[in-house]
Structures are given as structure tokens and as C-alpha cells.
Amino acid sequence: MSLRFAAASAAAIPIWFVHRESWPAIRDGLPAAAAAFAAASGFEPTAGQHAVLPDASGGIAAVVAAIEAPDARHRDPFLPGKLANLLPAATYRFANEPHETSLAALGWLLAGYRFNRYKTSGTNLPALIAPAGIDVARIERIARSTALARDLVNTPANDLGPAALEAQALAVAQRYGAAATVVRGNALVTGNLPLIYAVGKASAEPPCLVDFIWGDPTTPKVTLVGKGVCFDTGGLDIKPESAMALMKKDMGGAATALAAADAIMDAGVKVRLRVLLPIVENAISGTAFRPGDVYPSRKGLTVEIGNTDAEGRLILADALALADEEKPDLLFDFATLTGAARVALGPDIPPFYTGEDALAEAIARHSRRMNDPVWRMPLWDPYDALLDGKIANLNNISGGPFAGSITAALFLRRFVEAATAWAHFDIFAWNPKSMPGRPEGGEAQASRLVYDLIEARYGV
């Protein structure tokens, strides 16, 4: 797996991007043998189609790849990345510019990701020379950070339990000289992080909170919080088999936070970055927390457990309360939190929640810029009362079948007061099928846009 561009080479094979308007002129400029082959093979400039065109000696003269027309309703900037899994192993270059060259190049690198921990593909992949005018270091940085998150999400829970995820997080912190601490096991109780302890205490591996800080303390404070449930059985409210099959990905929020942090630190963005990762396994044993239990939280609010399968918001609540205590300028959390989000928006578009309109506009802008789709959903205040507890300050579920993603976000909002701006991302962290630049499996949804937003806002 290569996450870098190839060295420049005069022998690189040109890739011509075409659509219905541009194809005739590009076809007429091809070598005669290549143009004749394109006609004989019936190539049509329909988006997603490509043809490998031979030269007179039987080698590859060029590749033509169809992209969306300029007036298409939707244009996928990653579509050129599809070629990274289709072309013969060789070195290629863009002969002309696709719609968005930087994103096309990023899509190529992202498409070349492979999860090779347990088996190798054995297939040599084509390589791409970096197109002129792009920020090579930045694009390779984004690809590497995305691969970090994908590797973590794809690793099964027998090899990525709480201790292993903690170690991975500490390795990222160490790479950039960040100051890290870990609160683990019973120390979570004495450290006033009782909800994290309650969720994770049934596991053979103790729960923990990883906390690391990087950057100049005089610069703006940015904090990332990621849900790190290494496996979610649902607890005593056990999930059915179909819902449990992909629960190795329930630490996707932590993986996404680490991906964004890795890119921010590697770029040297001028922030004081803090990363908080509550890490647990929601297991079943004699010490498991139960429906009807009541626990205190770091914030002082008592929480009644309406369902043990709504555990992610519990561990996030303590982490967010801790983050909020130092009044960060920006506070983002990432979590594979609700199935309701998938029902509303499907697997490709994570909803996000914020009460700050200016931040919402910035998130949407950087989402489009980075081809990292998200969609704003409302923090609908009338639903907040659905979380009121009968014998505690609040319940961890609303008790009804509707608006599950919204009520989960409202639950988290109860634990954020002092931060200047906060946004919550309810991600899926998984591609159920392969798409250009997005292979099937673990995914770092929202990490690219958050890195782009923070870098643009605070500089390097």
C-alpha cells in the first residue's frame, strides 16, 4: 500500500479525462493507433468508464477516463481515484486537469488503501505522479491520517481491545511529542469519571481515558473527543446478531479523532490541541451496568440507565464535561452513536449538530471543499424534555422510537456549557460498499473537513 505519489518520470503514461463535450477534441489529438482502438472498442465518454489505449508496438499509449460533464447535477471529485484499482501496474500522470485536481489526486491515494494486517492482496497497484500545482505534502498527510483511522476501525476487537487502542493513541501522541496521561480502571472513579467506569467495568480489560495535549499553550484551544467503544455487545440489553456483526467499528469516533489530530500535529497548526478518548468495551458479566441503575457523572448530573446499548453517550458525557472545564475555543466530538442517524441520512452522510450558526456554515463549507460529506441536523429544544429522568436528573434514552440521533445530541449538550463553540458528529465510520476513494470497510468520516477547518482558521 502506497500513500505517496510516484517520482517524476518521462515514461509515465498519460491519463486523459474526458466528457461528452471534450471527448471529440481529445480523441483527435491521440496517436492514430490509440484513437482507432478507442473507436473499435466502442468507448463512450460516460462517467466512470475508461479505456486503456495501445500504441503501435502493443504498449500502453494512454488512458482515457470519463468524468461527469461540467453541467452534471453531481460530480464526484474522487471519481478519478477509481482508476487506482483498475489500471495495470505502471506509473501514470494526469495529462489534463479533472474538475478538482487536488481532490482527484487525493482520491487516487485514498483508493490505494489496503488493510493488510491478516493477508496481503498480492497485487501491484498503479502509481501516480503528483499533478502540477498541488500541495503534495498536505495530500499525502491526509491520506496517511485517513489510513491510520481505517486500520484501527478494520482491526477486530480481539486485536484492538481497550489496552491496544490506548497504546495506539499513545503512539500517536509520542510521535509528535504530546504530553499524555491515562486514567484507568478504578482510578476513573477516584478521578471523577464515573460514567466511563460504569460502562467499561464488565470487561476483562479495564476502561480508560486517554488524554494528550500538544502545541503552544498560548494559542487557541481546540479539543477533540472520540468515542472509543472497542466492541459493543449492547450490554445486558444485548444486540441481536445482525446489529452486533460490525461492532468492532464502535471505536470509530476515537479513530476519527486520532486521524484529525495526526494531520493537525503533522502540519504544525497553530493551536493548543487536546485529545480525549474514553475507551471501553461494553461487555456482559456479573459486574455489567444494568437497566435502571443510576450513576453520577463528572458534571454532577445523575443519569438513569434506560438502555445499556446507549453507552456511547455515557462515556462521551464524562469526557465532554472534562473538556468543557477549560473552556476550549473549539470542541468537536465524533461518535458512532445512533442507528437513527443512518436511517435518516444513510451510511455516507453523517449528521452533525451545533448551536453555532457560524460554525455550522464553516463545517458545511469545508465539507464541500474536502469532499467529506456531512449534513446539519437540529438541536431541537422541545425534545430535550424527553430525556428528563424519573428518579435521576436525566435518562440516557428518550424512551420513544423517534428522533434518536437528535435526542442523543441533546443528551451530550447537557454536558457542554463553557466551550466557545461545540459540534457533535454522529458518524458511521464504515463504507458498506466500495466507491471511488472510499474502499469497503473502516472510514474516517469528518476527519478531513475538521483538519481543513482548523488549519484554515488558525494557520500553520
Residues with catalytic roles: 239, 313
> How far is residue 128 from each of residues 15, 54, 191, measured CA to CA in Å?
10, 19, 50
State the amino acid at position 182 in one-letter form.
Answer: V
- Residue whose grid cell is 482510578: 187
- Residue 449, H or E segment: helix 447-458
> What is the C-alpha separation between 222 and 452, in angstroms, rounded?
13
Q: How many CB atoms lie within 10 A of CB 458?
A: 18
Q: Return the C-alpha cell found at 178.
A: 504530546
What are the b/e assignments for 356-391, b being 16+ CB within 10 Å?
A: eeebbebbbebbebbbbebebbebeeebbebbebee
Question: For the chain, how big is the Rg over CA atoms in Å?
Answer: 24
**Under 8 Å between Cβ of 106 and 134:** no
- Rounded to whole angstroms, how far apart are CA atoms 49 and 33? 20
